[in-house]
Structure 1
Amino acid sequence: MRKVNTTTAIILFGSVLLMLVGTFTYAGSQKEVLESDEVSHFGPPTSSTSNSVSIPKEYDQLWLSGMVPPILDEEGETSYEKYGDTETQAIGIFEDLEAQLEEKGLSLSDVMYLRVYVASDPNNGDEPDFAGFFKAYGEFFDTEENPVKTARSTVGVDSLAEPGWLIKIEAFVAYSS
């Protein structure tokens, strides 16, 4: 059995005590934030997403189902065909999401949560191109224009309903009316 000297024991005990005090202080401050009347995002400052989002009960909600990449055909009509890589398709979806929200008097800053399905991409070794999606996300969220860091789930899937789709996004929006 290894002996622990007194100095080491004091340092270990002090470290544990500081962690416990910090945890209770952090939990207390989070509880206060959870009870506020403002939307709160939680997570590491270096992350482009939030671990969680607290939404006051009086906020309204809007759920947008699986949005897929729109493209304009030669006549200027919207069609749903494969175009571009995962990044390009994601940009198209985010632009469409932004337009849908603007029609409702909302913006991307009202988006609280995204569920993203990234399909296998033949141009990426038949693997989902997560980097392409993350790059597109970075153009619309956690920016100077829109500092919101959504909570998000990103899932790799084998395929989507339409063979050309490489990405599908669902969005949860909360807003104060």
Structure 2
Amino acid sequence: MEWNRNLKVILATALVSCFVGATVYAAATPNKLPLTPIHEPEFYGSPSSSISSGVAVPEGVATFSTSGTVPPMLNKEGKTVYERYGNTEKQAEGVLLNIEKQLKEQGLSLKDVVYLRVYVTPDAALGGKFDYTGWFNAYGKFFNTKDNPVKPARSTVGVASLVSSDWLIEIEAVAVYPKGHNKD
């Protein structure tokens, strides 16, 4: 009977410790969720990063998503992928300009983009390595700039190939319609 009483004391102590620990953790860790409703997208993350680590979108806000957008052909008569479409940076610039055009047709701009998903393929000119730097350079011309300070959340994924072996990059974008936009 003595050990049964000791077991109850040990279990009670452990249970109280868990509650105390959880309470201390909760008090020391601020709630990252918006406590009040948001009315515009809110971007989260380090101010020194060129991308956001996350974006909160207000309830009921309309979004526009592009399909995977691929590079425009620069020179149909080009003998190499680089003459036909350009390197990763040039291709990414062409894709972002195309996305910008798609957004404009919907009454949006690159300032409304909250998320990008990017697929990059190996570049033969770089020994089969992924040209992430080329992509990052192109991104830096369109986002986190003086003209467009928006830093969308973003995923960049290295993939084996895209539909055309000439394409080194494909990009999907999600944009949020500004406050007051009425879908009707």
TM-score normalised by structure 2 residue count: 0.75
Compared CA separation, residues 82 and 57, structure 1 to 2 (3 A): farther
| 2:159 is equivalent to residue 157 of structure 1 | yes
Identity %: 47
Residue in structure 2 matched with residue 127 of structure 1 by the alignment:
129
Q: In the aligned structure 2, how far is the partner of 1:83 from the partner of 1:139?
A: 18
Matches within 5 A, 1:1-177: 23-24=29-30, 27=31, 30-32=33-35, 35-73=37-75, 82-176=84-178, 177=181
Aligned alpha-carbon RMSD (Å): 2.3
Answer whether contact 2:90 2:138 (CA < 8 A) is retained.
Answer: yes
Query: As a proportion of its length, which structure holds more strand?
Result: 1
Q: 1:22 to 1:141 in 2, by over 3 A?
A: farther
Could you tell me which runs of 5 or more consecutive residues in structure 1 were left unpaired when the two chains were aligned.
1-17, 75-80
Query: In the comparison of the two structures, how many residue pairs are matched?
Result: 152
Shift of 1:71: 2.4
Return the alpha-carbon distance in structure 1 between the equivalents of residues 123 and 160 of structure 2. 9
Q: How big is the shift at 1:59?
A: 1.1
Deviation, 1:58, is 2.1
Unaligned regions of 5+ residues in structure 2, if any? 1-23, 77-82
CA distance in 1, matches of 2:146, 2:173: 21
Report runs of 4+ in structure 1 exceeding 3 Å deviation. 18-22
